[in-house]
Amino acid sequence: MSEPITIRKLVDRISSGDIRIPAFQRDFVWEPDQVAFLLDSIYKGFPIGTVILWKTDNRLSTDKRLGFFTLPEPQKDYPVNYVLDGQQRLTSLFSVFQTELEPDSDQWIDIYFDTLAEESVQESLFLALEPGETDPTRHFPAKTLFDTVAYRRATEDMDDESLLKLDELQSRFKEYLIPNEVFESDDQNRVAIVFERINRAGTELNVFELLSAWSWSDEFDLVEKFNALQDEIAEHGFDDLCEDKDLQLRIAAGVITGETTPARILSLQGAEIRERFAEIERGIIGALDFLKREASVRHYKMIPFPGLLVPLACFFATSSTEGFVYSDLQREKLLRWFWRSLFTRRFSADVNQRQAQDIEEMAKLKADEEYDLKLPSADIKFEFERSSFSSATANSRVMILLLNSMTPHSFLSGATIDLDKVLKKSSKHEYHHIFPQRYLARQGRDRGEINVLANICFLTRGDNNKIKDRAPASYASDIDDSKRAQYLSEALCPDDLGDLSYDEFLKKRSELLQGRARQLME
């Protein structure tokens, strides 16, 4: 084990180009709330895991950006340390605390320490907040902790008690040590084995870049073959799947071997994929067509758990040029499997094992439409009243598809919601709070109570502007009397919406959402 490293030193080494992200790592995928939770763990002195670096004199032909930042080139004649494990943590810390580089995107959300929150072992004292959500009297910017000038400015008007608290905060971060281990080798095969073992637990790997960068097969051009597939995927409206070549490799491994572990993927031979590529291609296209036609999933971004595409593509994989034609009975069973996989979050953990189980089940259903497909349970694994809404999270995407299954109209105008736009772009302008945020804030409700799944519906921007900060008791009368029952039912809202308190509404709406979910699962 190498000497532990401070956060300040870690940021400096990344800024200098000494620590880099290899091309075979997956992208930065952490949500802002996960970054805030990481900072809370550091503040409380909890371990955040060991960082594993690969030290080598052999430079890879391509590197990845580190989150939203393009890193400088490393100094010549010096070895480079590539991150094998800990990328999400390192990227989070660098993005919070670095002050030298400008981000390539405006998607980053700053993290703040809530100075007025009560100390709690369980609850996080750190929040990811948009600029308009901050209260300068209580939200202290974490990004100033290692910047002496910025920290002095941010604390100059603080009283002595607050200043002592923030000095203690700064001290904890300056003194925190991150354990790290350095693996030194110029043998790429050994590095591949280490990388595979680190990620064996079902983590989404970017093995495609790993195999391509290391000339996986001279007789088979992996990049060229998959590039040809991307055009057809895009034609079916799932353009973003083109970027997820790791998932496509998992599908290839699933079709060929019935398993999707990194070891299986790394053991694939070019000849195997070349001989069965048409079969793999039909499997992917068949799965996408099924989701679009039967489940109204129009775009890749709105698939909450992309891992479910693997067993579904295996079902549709075929050597027939006409594709696999499914029966009505098979369609019903596949749809129940799809919705149950969503509501039970089946592919959120133990992905490799569950994909292998479902690939086997799909093969049996494919051979015999009467086969009693083993389905996931019908237990909903999240709460509509408690789970926060963000179109980037899996639970929220499940919620969006649930609402989408009703083909709703906008409350006031009755306008048809442009679901294609909503699902493709995750447009914030189409998701709105039934009890408006400003109305609830005036009632003393905090952000966590307001922004829950049960308080979200589809509304056009025009209708939302008419509602503004009015309670349902006020704007419900603006809904066309002859259409009120229809519009509320389509939105899975209680028909007595205007008569309910917020707590009563959340309870009734959650029951309606759960009822619709059970319909889809059964």
Alpha-carbon distance of 62 to 183, in angstroms, equals 20
Q: Are residues 270 and 401 in the same domain?
A: no
Which of 349, 367, 385 corresponds to the end of one domain? 367
287 with 355, same domain: the answer is yes
Residue 128 neighbours by CB distance under 10 Å? 20
Q: CB-side exposure of 46: number of CA atoms within 13 Å?
A: 11
Full strand arrangement of the beta sheet holding 80-85: 63-64, 19-22, 80-85, 51-56, 180-184
Whether the predicted pLDDT of 202 surpasses 50: no
Is the pLDDT assigned to residue 325 strictly greater than 80? yes
* Residues 403, 327 share a domain: no
First-last CA distance in the chain: 52
**How confident is the model at residue 217, as a pLDDT?**
40
Whole domain around residue 497: which residue ranges? 394-521
| Cβ contact 246:204 at 8 Å | yes
Tell me how far CA of residue 280 lies from CA of 150, 237, 274, in angstroms: 55, 18, 10
Q: Are residues 106 and 211 in the same domain?
A: no
pLDDT in tens, 85-109: 888 999 999 999 988 777 777 777 8
| Residues 131 and 259 placed together within one structural domain of the fold | no
Largest pairwise CA distance in the chain: 77
Same domain, 423 and 354: no
> What is the DSSP-derived secondary structure letter of residue 455?
G
Residues 310 and 409 in one domain: no
Indicate the pTM of the whole model. Answer: 0.63
Same domain assignment for residues 20 and 83: yes
Over the range 349-370, which residues count as b (16 or more CB within 10 Å of their CB) and which as e? eebbebbbebbebbbebbeeee
Is there a single domain that holds both residue 171 and residue 63? yes
Residue with tokens 């290692």: 146
User: Same structural domain for residues 12 and 123?
Assistant: yes
285: pLDDT strictly greater than 90: yes
Residue 9, φ and ψ in degrees, nearest 5: -65, -40
* Closest to 165 measured CA to CA, from 123, 211, 116: 116
Report CA Rg, the chain: 25
How confident is the model over 346-400, as pLDDT tens digits? 999 889 999 999 999 999 999 999 999 999 999 999 999 999 998 778 999 999 9
Contact 452, 389 (CB under 8 A): yes
Confidence band of 61 (pLDDT split at 50, 70, 90): low
Q: Say if residue 266's pLDDT is above 80.
A: no
DSSP 67: T
Q: What total number of domains does the chain contain?
A: 3
Q: Is the pLDDT of residue 327 over 90?
A: yes
By three-state DSSP, how is residue 95 classified?
helix
358 and 215 part of one domain: yes
- Look at residue 496 and tell me whether its pLDDT is greater than 90: yes
426: pLDDT strictly greater than 50: no
Residue type, 484: R
Task: Give dist(CA 422, CA 397) in Å, integer.
Answer: 11
> Residue 429 pLDDT > 60, yes or no?
no
Instruction: Report pLDDT for 1.
Output: 61
Most confident listed range (15-24, 176-185, 307-316, 402-411): 307-316
How many CA atoms within 13 Å lie on the side-chain side of 252?
Answer: 29
Contact 234, 54 (CB under 8 A): no
Q: Look at residue 374 and tell me if it is in a domain.
A: no
pLDDT mean over 15-35: 82
**Closest by Cα among 20, 246, 8, 316 to 147:** 8
Tokens for 117? Answer: 């929150």
> Within a domain: residue 386?
no
pLDDT at 315 > cutoff 60? yes
Q: Which two tokens stand for residue 255?
A: 């079709």
Closest CA to 99 of 158, 163, 142, 41: 142
What's the confidence (pLDDT) of residue 2?
Answer: 77
Between vectors from CA 283 to CA 282 and to CA 288, what angle results, nearest 5°?
A: 95
Q: Specify the pLDDT at position 220.
A: 47
**The predicted structure's pLDDT at residue 20:** 87
Domain boundary among 325, 352, 367: 367
The predicted model gives 6-10 an average pLDDT of 93
Per-residue tokens: 38:
């990481």
Q: Identify whether 347 is part of a domain.
A: yes
What does the pLDDT average to over 415-437?
Answer: 71
Residue at 252 is within a domain: yes
